[in-house]
Amino acid sequence: MIAEIAVAMAALLLSEAKDTTETLGPAKVFGESVKRELMHLSLGSVEVGHNFIENNFSGTLMQSLSAIPGVQARTIGSGQSKPAIRGLGFNRIAVVVDGIKHEGQQWGDDHGLEIDQFAIDRVEVIKGPGALMYGSDAIGGVLGIYTNYLPVEPFEGRVNIFGRTNNLSAGLSARLQGRNDHFYWRLHLTGTDYADYKVPIDEIEYYSYRIPLKDGTLRNTAGREADAALTLGYVGDSFRNDFKVSETWSKSGFFANAHGLEVRLSGINYDASRRDIDLPWQSVNHLAVHNHSHYHASGFTLDADVAWQWNHRQERSEPVSHGYMPTPPDDLERVFSKYTLTGKLGSKVELSAGNQLQAGLDAEFQHNRRGGWGFIIPDFETVSGGVFVIDRHKFLEALSVNAGIRYDHVYTSVHSYSDWFTTPDDTGTPVYKQRSGDIRRHFDSFSWSAGITWSPGKWVVKANIGNSFRVPIAKELGADGVNYHIFRYEKGSPDLSPEESYEVDMGINWVGERLTLRLDPYFNWFPNYIYLSPGSTYYEGLQMYTYTQAQVLRTGFEAQAVWKILSFLELEAGAEYLFARQMSGAKKGYTLPFCPPWKADIALKYTFLEDGYVSLGTRIAGVQREIVPPEKPTEGWFILNLSAGKSFTLKNTVLKTGLQVENLLNRRYFDHTSYYRLIGVPEPGINASLMLGLEF
Amino acid sequence: MKTHSVIIFLALSALLASCSTEKKDMTAPEIVSAGEETSPLNCAEYHPGDIIQFVWAFSDDVELGSFNVEIHSNHDHHTHSTEAEDCPEHHHDEGEEEGELWIFNEDYPIPSGQTYYKTNIPIAVPANAAHGEYHFMIRVTDAAGWQQLRSLAINIGE
């Protein structure tokens, strides 16, 4: 499967030059093109273009993408959400931007992807292990994001304005680009501002506190975001190069009543304004510089990438004493500063007719430093390198096989950290307590994969088997402190081994004239899943959570059907189901945290005047009783969503309009995979979004 | 290949269905009254220098874990969702900020294998404790990692 991904990725890179049209999302053109797309990967993958993202414009990129079966958004308030694929998220999926693994502080619960969703041309979701191409982290899937559209005109562009009713957000996004013979440029600018968001509830209960909400607003969840990116490129006959600099910045408040240990003592009047951002808040910066070169000759391609990324996140909150910690001198609770240097080299060679060999090597260096008076993750450096080979052989037009292997070495050096204040030890002597020791670990990993794609008649059948790995991150090895966001004490384990995953994937597709059917079942086994297990002991009143490893079994499927009933009427249906079980360790018999319940989407779409559409859909989720401490069972729910859009041609410009209304009936429901579910915050009430875009 | 994979998949699914019936602790422990001796009761009155005898009971269907007692001031009159409502006899005078706000936070083990455990712990109110309303928080875990909280209001009077 991974081999197929690799080949597909390479094919995508190769086809960039002619990639001037965007794909249309689930409502795809029927027939051969669908089959071809299905054939290029033997692992379940879904590709969507920016039209899909605009039509499903939904606050955050991940909320937009959660319309894809098997993809979940773990929301944290209105401005933030984390991606999850088949229930796995954080460091278990790789987010890859233009071929480079996007580095954020992935482990953090409370910030979203540091990506401008309006700069995206195409997204490819790979549902299954992708370590062969991307090394550690791709164990649960890959979210491939492409922003490398090649302009065709000397000057062209698009300006979007958008607004949302629930959190009173307003935004402006512009894309300007041009091409002059061999040279081109591209500029993205986006700015958004949003207020506290509303939920259909009057009060919530959190950690035994009763928190009344004024007018149903979650106080201090307002935020703003500003993004900019500039690309300069050269396109020759056999050589291409592009150089990109991008910056995303955001500042957002934390829900004031669910952060910190002594929030209740705050004198801040959070209800004074819905738009202001009071303490506690965070700011997140992501700066990236990326150079990509591509060379191709007959039967041969070579790609080279160099990238540098810098993440800088700050959490600020009112200084309060806690336990033996005296009142800190300022509000700088935590600073995370990480930079990542990545180099990649990849080549594809046609060995014979129908046989293609791909090989690649990559190297990465990460450097992380912390600051502030709160400790959760130690300083660390990581050096990693990997090499892979993939062979793909096409026996017939309708039958191809692939196989690949990869080797990785990772070195992690975690630095010790001691408190800045003293705590009495057993004898009562005040000591600067050590929270993290010096940890030096080397990890070796070997991964492999094999797959087959077969397309007799209207069928496309795919099967894959492979393994993937993930190296423990510094937090899992060396965390030792209070997680103020969730009132618990988290403790790392320095001896963790690399997490492994074995997965069998299948894809069964039937592509007819008016109807396509798709079923993607999978079966997955982790011999040593790294799991943060809630224990039965306390540390100063905070329940102790420890990182342990356990055998985990996961299985499930996604199903999809698209039926073109009439030329102007289309029915789309999608469903997903996942079963996860810990098979050993302290939580033997339990599921994994945030295990999504079964979910189904059904939408009826009416098309008029070529590109106009109105779509009414329902999303249904089942009850989730498969839980693990400290989760609560979540009742099933359904909501209605409406979307409509139409383009108008005005001389040389196109005006695009799009309206989306989510939760039309303003129903109160809890999403089991939402981070705020744990603190009893329901999903947002009715929310209308309007987007106007001018293309020229 | 195709049929084989389907068979393997179905076999594994059947295996799953069979092991999913395994018993596991799905309920949180409870904080229950220890009868007539139960103390402190909600809205109880104490004085600086007093001993609060902490007598409550915990129960769990499988096995208890450990517990914690935390006492913090409620001078800002925040509320908890268990029974810590404002106690009518407590009047919130402006002058009650004198003295030192009392903070108490202790973790206690429960012997292993217990499904019922009664506490009996003396907690001394410091002689210089500021007067006013305090919250008396009780937390208990079970061996599986479920947690239960209970919040009581107590008053430290003149």
Distance from CA of B46 to the nearest CA of A (A): 23
In words, the CATH class of domain B24-156 is mainly beta
Residue from the list B66, B79, B80 with its beta carbon closest to the beta carbon of A536: B66
Q: Report pLDDT for B8.
A: 53
Contacts of B149 in chain A (CB under 8 A): 207-208
CA Rg value for chain B: 23
Maximal CA-CA distance, chain A: 83
| DSSP secondary structure code for residue A397 in this structure | T
**How many angstroms away from the CA of A452 is the closest CA of chain B?**
9
Q: What are phi and psi of A532, to 5 degrees?
A: -90, 100
Interface contact B68-A538, CB threshold 8 A: yes
* B128 C-beta neighbours (distance < 10 Å), count: 11
Instruction: Report pLDDT for B16.
Output: 52
Q: What's the burial of B40, exposed, middle or buried (CB within 10 Å: 0-12/13-18/19+)?
A: buried
Kindly identify which residue of chain B lies nearest to residue A629, measuring between CA atoms: B146
Subunit contact B1:A540, Cβ cutoff 8 A: no
ipTM: 0.83
Q: What pLDDT does residue A340 have?
A: 96
Identify which of A307, A397, A395, A392 has the alpha carbon closest to the alpha carbon of residue A345: A307
Chain B residues closer than 8 Å to A532 by CB: none
Q: Average pLDDT over chain B, rounded to whole?
A: 81
Query: Which among A209, A264, A541 has the least Cβ separation from residue B68?
Result: A541
What Rg do the C-alpha atoms of chain A give, in angstroms? 25
What own/partner pairs with CB < 8 Å and gap ≥ 24 does A323-328 have? A323/A423, A323/A540, A323/B105, A324/A421, A324/A422, A324/A423, A324/A424, A325/A373, A325/A419, A325/A421, A326/A421, A328/A373
Other C-beta atoms closer than 10 Å to the C-beta of B101 total: 12
Q: Residue written as tokens 């690399």?
A: A498
Q: Where are the domains of chain B?
A: 24-156
Token pair for A388: 């892979």
Tell me how far apart the terminal alpha carbons of chain B are, to the nearest angstrom. Answer: 83
Nearest by CB: A536 against B8, B20, B142: B142
- Give the CA dihedral B81, B87, B92, B95, nearest 10 degrees: -100
Which residues of A415-514 form beta strands (DSSP E)? 417-418, 423-424, 430-431, 434-436, 439-454, 459-470, 480-483, 488-491, 499-511
Q: Which residues of chain A have pLDDT under 70?
A: 1-42, 58-59, 77-79, 109-110, 207-208, 257-266, 323, 484-486
Q: Is the peptide bond before A280 cis (omega within 30 degrees of 0)?
A: yes
Find chain B residues with C-beta within 8 A of A452's C-beta: 1
Yes or no, beta carbons of A208 and B149 under 8 Å apart: yes
Condensed to tens digits (0 to 9), the pLDDT of residues B48-76 reads 999 999 999 999 999 999 999 988 887 66
Q: What is the pLDDT of residue B2?
A: 46
**Closest alpha carbon to A477 in A383, A374, A549, A563:** A549
Region A2-695: CATH code: 2.40.170.20
Say if residues B65 and B111 touch (Cβ distance below 8 Å): no
The pLDDT of residue A359: 95
Closest-CA residue to A366 (of A283, A309, A295): A309
Q: CA of B61, closest CA in chain A: separation in Å?
A: 15
Q: Residue A276: how many CB atoms within 10 A of its CB?
A: 15
CA-based torsion, B143, B145, B146, B151: positive or negative: positive
Selected for mutation to probe chain B from A202, A208, A503 (highest B CB count within 10 Å) is: A208
Please indicate whether, in this complex, the C-beta atoms of A536 and B24 are within 8 angstroms of each other: no
Query: Number of A:B CB contacts under 8 A?
Result: 100
Task: Note the pLDDT tens digit of each residue in B2-48.
Answer: 455 555 555 555 555 445 455 789 999 999 999 999 999 988 999 99
Give A438's DSSP letter. -
Helical H segments across A446-508, by residue range: 474-478
Q: How many CB atoms lie within 10 A of CB A103?
A: 23
Q: Do B65 and A535 touch (CB under 8 A)?
A: yes
Q: How far apart are CA A581 and CA A633, in angstroms?
A: 16
Chain B partners of A540 at a C-beta cutoff of 8 Å?
A: 105, 107
Tokens for A678? 């744990």
Structure tokens at A109: 């619960």
Cβ contact, residue pair B66, A537, below 8 Å: yes
Chain B nearest CA to A580, separation (Å): 9
* Boundaries of every domain in chain A: 2-695
Beta bridge partners of A45: A126
Closest chain B residue to A545 measured between Cα atoms? Answer: B145
